[in-house]
Structure 1
């Protein structure tokens, strides 16, 4: 079942199971960028951020699907 009400950033962040600061470090992004993305009502993930997420997920053996990266319709 889809994560109703969760944005793509929130779904991905939940799968990583880290604090926003740890998640930001893992992606090589600034903590404030991640905090803003997690609190944004749409929470869409840019192409560059998708690449960083997929790379980090692969390194940490975390399964990320296309549904995780896209909003619920």
Structure 2
């Protein structure tokens, strides 16, 4: 019984050690408004130079709208986490 627990513990440690580093697709700490003079209705409307530059050309970080400003462009800032 004790030997089984030792093997189970060793197996658990090796499986955790083999996990890759997790890099979430969206850094959740910092965002910035971009293309502030533009009115947007979908994320693709914000794919302009200002937003693309601030997001380091990563379109999946760019969003249109928020609760209080539904037609404003903003982007998450890469590597801000």
TM-score normalised to structure 1 length: 0.27
> Max radius of gyration: which structure?
2
Structure with the largest fraction of strand: 2
Higher RCO by CA contacts (8 Å cutoff, separation 6 or greater): 1
